[in-house]
Structure 1
Amino acid sequence: MKQTLLRFLKTRRALAALALLVGVAVGGVWLAWPAAHSDAGLLPAGAAGREMALDAAPWQEHQRDGAALLADLKAGRVEAVGITPDALLVSTAAGERYFVLDGRGAFANLAIAQARDAASSPFELAMLPQVHVGPDARGGWDRAFEVIRVLLSLLLPVALIGVVLHVMRQDVFSMGKLVQRPRDIRFADVIGASEAKAALSDVVQFLQQPARFAALGAHAPRGVLMLGGPGVGKTLLAKALAGEAGVNFIATNGSEFTSKFFGVGVAKVKQLFATARKNAPCILFIDEIDGLAKRSQGNGAAESEGNRIINQVLVEMDGFAENAGVIVIGATNLAENLDEALLREGRFDRRVHVKLPDVRDRADILRLYAKKLPAAPALDFERLARVTTGLAPSALAYIVNHAALVAAREDAAEVSMAHLMESVETARIGERNGAQRALSPDELHRVAVHEAGHAVVASALHSGKVEKVTILPRGGALGVTLVTQEEDKTLYPKSFIEARIQMLLAGRGAELLLLGEASSGAAQDLQECSRLALDMVARYGLSEQAGLFSLAAVPAQHAGGLMSDAVKQANALLNDLEARCAEVLQTHLHALKSLTAELLEQETVEGDRVEELVHPALRRAA
């Protein structure tokens, strides 16, 4: 009831202010509008002018043009000229009276100038703003339209200012309407991110028991910076922190502080932190905090406003008392774009890295999302977790949802493993693009040889598990060999990187072995294996010829000559690995030819069949 009354009073005040503005505008028009009938004190000084003002009818009986007026002026026959808003009233010495239409007043100025320069005798000049010649256009609708025009000319600027002020006010006070209470989200609802949850556990304890920490002279960090790639769950983790501690949650993002109006960004910062203090204890979450950028030395309006916004954030964070119960959490994957003052102790003095889920976490996440679908009972989530290495939880959610779309497209009753694998390939490689129809038989044969080479070497060197080989084009690739890892890797041994490079070179090597020449289809493979070889030589110290020196220690402006040497050594490493790859292909030549033939016949071959072709003895023993 109180809020309703306040809204009513605010409305009454707004209406009263509007009525006052309208009254002022109408009064101004009324005072400025010339009276229809002049008082005697407002009549022109000359006798002819007073006569024209009192009754202009005699002058309206005859009309002449401007040339006649100029001739009379030059001949000195003009006795008086009355200037009205519509015409010029002319009296001659011979008693003749006429008018010259001049609605815009341009000819009046010309006539006066000509008269002053060329008149042979003086004449009376009278200003008659209240006299109208011809039909009384001012007495009907035109007068009303003129009143409306003047009113609008006065009210529109006032209304525009009012709208701008209202938008600015709404822009600022919208920052105070962001309070949420995510009571139902806990750390247990966030799959994975165990390191991040452990790092945030003491923040939960401080928010729940601030007195215990205060008694020991300790205080929680004023700011926590969450670092992680897009879609890893930083926002969900911040909500889970608020839910775990049972406190309020306020969410915004770095771009919300900017505004088209100068000074509003600073007001937004003040309003946001005021709301946070009012709702303490709470979590103030600023997503994409790198949107605040860094303070710059520029003198432009944009740079100045950005600097003032960051300065205000710094001041507000310093203004928190130790027991204020407000913790600011910023999230970004571009920490290098943050201002250095934000990262010092007392502001964002703790960093929490939110990593991608590992293979077990991915399986659990996929199970969680699949529960919401009419899924087939025999889904291999472990396999799905393997083929989704490096994907964020948001990408996994997309894969499950897209699998449902694929099932609906096929009019299936449930989501099967085939639908999920199709969705994984779409997410990782791209949609089927139909480019196969544009390939000639020779090109299709070359694609089959190329992909068979990748698969055979990957299986022979155990550089990963071959899940599928296909010559069906996807995205920008004419064929795909899908190789996954049983476990996520953080450290890569030299043997693993060399096997990976050989697998990348195997497509080109198979073309050379079976077709006699390579093609442009290996461009992407060469780019990737060149990057790996250069890292082995210049960063990892994994080349016997290059030694242990890392080019990462050399400033970029001084690394030119050293880089050319590193490129030569990386090229030598690639040549050596290419020779070793050719030996592997020659050893498994039968498997290479058989897999090529099956690809041309079936278009897609599963990974188990590749293993049978490359390791027949192991399959027979099993």
Structure 2
Amino acid sequence: MRLSILTRPEVIAFTILIIGTAIVTLRMTRPGGRFSGRSKDGRGGRAVATAGGGGETAFKVEQVNRNDPKARMESVTFADVAGLEEAISELREVVEYLRDPHRFERLGAHMPKGVLLYGLPGCGKTLLARALAGETGVPFYFVSATSFVEKFVGLGAARVRQLFEAAKASAPCIIFIDELDAIGRHRSADTAGEREFDHTLNQLLVELDGFMGSSGVMIIGATNRPELIDSALLRPGRFDRRIQVDRPDRSGREKILRLHADTRPVSRRVDWGEVAAHTAGLTAAELANIVNEGCLLAARRHRDRVAPEDIDEAVSRVLAGTRSARLMSDEEKELVGVHEAGHALLSVLLRGVQPPSRISIVNRGAAFGRSPWSTTDDREVLTKRELMAQLIVLMGGRAAEMQVFGQPSTRAEDDLEHAAGLARRMVERLAMTGRFELAGRKDEGARGNDEGEGGKEVRELLEKAEQAARTILGDNSADLRMVAETLVLKETLTAAELQDMVRGGGGGGAVEMSS
């Protein structure tokens, strides 16, 4: 009797837990339940299926049935994807298989069970998966991997089983798992939470192994961090086809810009090829944002069509942020004008550096880690001479300040940070100063005892670049003054205006840097 009195609260709590767990399990697994995402006729057009209850976060799976007229109107195809020709060509084989699997099976061919799309955020991985489903016309299941695992042990594995059971019933179909690294990362057994992730991953591996070649279910995973994916997921028979979805090149950027502009009233005077040339390194999402920002600016200015000026301003917004409301004094304007003129003039005079589309003294706050003076074009292979030219341009603002005012300012802080990073890369990763023992080291903690001598060579590179910048600007002092005064007066210059100004002033002869 004494034992019963002492444990009564625990018995009550345990009973409630058992009843709650039973209710949740029944709701998750009953036929035709909320997970299946189907209407009463078994083929709902578009549904968001949820499983769970009792206060836990709902598990959401979006299913799109392409036989529904509304779904067909909303469907995406490869025609809606630009700048990803290589990835699309890899996926066309999957399209052919899902459309006519028997043609491949007669020849004994088996398509990959899983396709892994990897690359930077905003490059189009999710769009590619939706376009693949639109091309094939099969049901499409969309789920975020983060929704699999929660606080209840075994819930993640159960949700994986439910997802694959629903997909098999709808075959042929496509399952798209976004942010796959959330459950597919390397396994460990350090904590209970990590063990739950491991159980979920193990169940996913079991489901992948359980697929027969004729199941008609294609698994597509997407991740921004492929290095975290467990090797068991990547072996043949699972996610055995890997497609990189990278930032577009110049041609791809132009296609993406035109694709988004085609549905909007944009002036024919907008040169999308020129815009693409000055947006190297941007993702597809950022390029789409440029067009949208241009439309917003045009609407704010009460235009009927988006003008080139709107797109130019939109590029500046995406690259460097919005314009600051703080007004500069005349002294600040003069200093900033000289600083930016130093960068701009060197970018025209030196080979291997492409001037940005706009040069401005307008304060735009944080540049989000980008420097407009540290980019060239889409080339991945650069020579030491070209990297030195970039270093000189980065040091050009400080050098111009020293030449005109006799002292540097805080304006050069970001330039020095980018220049130091580039110089360190040249010394420690590219061995461009002859230090082969430092080559290939990517993490800063690996420098160890070589920091002293390696740091000395970095400083020497920066000093050499600054001295070269001061020499070139000294030889072109009249052009420096002219560009600086024009920037103070107009606040903004385009690359074409800058080049015409330098040529008109007698400059413009490209300076070839020695190695």
TM-score, length of structure 2 as denominator length:
0.82
Partner residue, 1:596 = 484
Partner residue, 2:330 = 441
Partner residue, 2:512 = none
Partner Cα separation in structure 1 for residue 51 and residue 255 of structure 2: 42
Residues 226 and 351 of structure 1 are in contact (CA less than 8 Å); yes or no, is this contact kept in structure 2? yes
Partner Cα separation in structure 2 for residue 470 and residue 283 of structure 1: 49
Aligned pairs for 1:451-490 (under 5 A) are: 451-462=340-351, 463-476=353-366, 487-490=377-380
Q: Using CA pairs under 8 Å that are at least 6 residues apart, name the structure with larger relative contact order, 1 or 2.
A: 2
Structure 2 residue aligned with 1:530, among 420, 423, 429?
420
Residues 263 and 305 of structure 1 are in contact (CA less than 8 Å); yes or no, is this contact kept in structure 2? yes
Structure 2 residue aligned with 1:494, among 384, 396, 417?
384
Partner residue, 2:51 = 172
Partner Cα separation in structure 2 for residue 165 and residue 324 of structure 1: 27
Q: Unaligned 5+ residue runs, structure 1?
A: 1-155
| Secondary structure in 2 matching 1:465 | coil
Partner Cα separation in structure 2 for residue 220 and residue 165 of structure 1: 35
Partner residue, 2:495 = 607
Deviation at 1:229, TM superposition (A): 1.0
Partner Cα separation in structure 1 for residue 431 and residue 140 of structure 2: 48
Partner Cα separation in structure 2 for residue 158 and residue 285 of structure 1: 34
Residues 433 and 475 of structure 1 are in contact (CA less than 8 Å); yes or no, is this contact kept in structure 2? yes
Deviation at 1:467, TM superposition (A): 2.6
Partner residue, 2:458 = 570
CA deviation vs aligned residue, 1:552-603 (integer Å, no higher than 9, x gap): 2699776311243222212212222222111111111101011111222222
Partner Cα separation in structure 2 for residue 270 and residue 176 of structure 1: 13
Deviation at 1:428, TM superposition (A): 0.9
- Say whether 1:450 aligns with 2:339: yes
Amino acid of the residue matched to residue 479 of structure 2? A
- Say whether 1:196 aligns with 2:87: yes
Partner Cα separation in structure 1 for residue 154 and residue 212 of structure 2: 26
Partner Cα separation in structure 1 for residue 120 and residue 309 of structure 2: 29
Partner residue, 2:4 = none
Partner Cα separation in structure 2 for residue 620 and residue 496 of structure 1: 18
Deviation at 1:366, TM superposition (A): 1.5
1:503 to 1:557, Cα distance in 2 relative to 1, 3 A: closer
Partner residue, 1:277 = 168
Amino acid of the residue matched to residue 384 of structure 2? K
CA deviation vs aligned residue, 1:103-140 (integer Å, no higher than 9, x gap): xxxxxxxxxxxxxxxxxxxxxxxxxxxxxxxxxxxxxx
1:558 to 1:498, Cα distance in 2 relative to 1, 3 A: closer
Partner residue, 2:285 = 394
Residues 172 and 267 of structure 1 are in contact (CA less than 8 Å); yes or no, is this contact kept in structure 2? no
Partner Cα separation in structure 2 for residue 554 and residue 468 of structure 1: 33
- Say whether 1:580 aligns with 2:468: yes
Deviation at 1:329, TM superposition (A): 0.9
1:175 to 1:526, Cα distance in 2 relative to 1, 3 A: closer
Please give the root-mean-square deviation of Cα atoms over the aligned residues, in Å: 3.0
CA deviation vs aligned residue, 1:290-328 (integer Å, no higher than 9, x gap): 111535444543222111111100110011112212121
Provide the identity percentage: 36
Residues 386 and 486 of structure 1 are in contact (CA less than 8 Å); yes or no, is this contact kept in structure 2? no
1:486 to 1:516, Cα distance in 2 relative to 1, 3 A: closer
- Say whether 1:412 aligns with 2:303: yes
1:354 to 1:305, Cα distance in 2 relative to 1, 3 A: same
Deviation at 1:172, TM superposition (A): 3.3
Aligned pairs for 1:63-142 (under 5 A) are: none
Partner residue, 1:242 = 133
Q: Unaligned 5+ residue runs, structure 2?
A: 1-15, 35-49, 53-58, 510-515
1:619 to 1:517, Cα distance in 2 relative to 1, 3 A: closer
Partner Cα separation in structure 1 for residue 339 and residue 265 of structure 2: 39
| Secondary structure in 1 matching 2:211 | coil
Deviation at 1:389, TM superposition (A): 1.7
Partner Cα separation in structure 1 for residue 193 and residue 200 of structure 2: 11
Deviating more after overlay: 258-267 vs 374-383: 258-267
Structure 2 residue aligned with 1:516, among 390, 406, 422?
406
TM-score, length of structure 1 as denominator length:
0.68
Amino acid of the residue matched to residue 365 of structure 1? I
1:176 to 1:191, Cα distance in 2 relative to 1, 3 A: closer
Residues 61 and 142 of structure 2 are in contact (CA less than 8 Å); yes or no, is this contact kept in structure 1? no
Amino acid of the residue matched to residue 334 of structure 1? R
Residues 125 and 222 of structure 2 are in contact (CA less than 8 Å); yes or no, is this contact kept in structure 1? yes
Aligned pairs for 1:369-384 (under 5 A) are: 369-384=260-275
Deviation at 1:500, TM superposition (A): 0.9
CA deviation vs aligned residue, 1:405-437 (integer Å, no higher than 9, x gap): 1122222222111111111111110111122x2
Deviating more after overlay: 256-265 vs 412-421: 256-265
Partner Cα separation in structure 2 for residue 563 and residue 312 of structure 1: 47
Residues 450 and 511 of structure 1 are in contact (CA less than 8 Å); yes or no, is this contact kept in structure 2? yes
| Secondary structure in 2 matching 1:192 | coil
1:556 to 1:177, Cα distance in 2 relative to 1, 3 A: closer
Residues 465 and 484 of structure 1 are in contact (CA less than 8 Å); yes or no, is this contact kept in structure 2? no
Amino acid of the residue matched to residue 252 of structure 1? V
| Secondary structure in 1 matching 2:336 | helix
- Say whether 1:305 aligns with 2:190: no
**Larger CA Rg, structure 1 vs 2:** 1
Residues 479 and 507 of structure 2 are in contact (CA less than 8 Å); yes or no, is this contact kept in structure 1? no
| Secondary structure in 2 matching 1:348 | coil
Amino acid of the residue matched to residue 357 of structure 1? P
Aligned pairs for 1:324-363 (under 5 A) are: 324-363=215-254
Aligned pairs for 1:38-53 (under 5 A) are: none
Partner residue, 2:46 = none
Number of residue equivalences: 462
Partner Cα separation in structure 1 for residue 223 and residue 152 of structure 2: 26
1:564 to 1:344, Cα distance in 2 relative to 1, 3 A: farther
CA deviation vs aligned residue, 1:17-55 (integer Å, no higher than 9, x gap): xxxxxxxxxxxxxxxxxxxxxxxxxxxxxxxxxxxxxxx
Partner residue, 2:12 = none
Partner Cα separation in structure 2 for residue 447 and residue 556 of structure 1: 33
Partner Cα separation in structure 1 for residue 371 and residue 241 of structure 2: 42
Amino acid of the residue matched to residue 250 of structure 2? V
Amino acid of the residue matched to residue 172 of structure 1? A
| Secondary structure in 2 matching 1:329 | strand
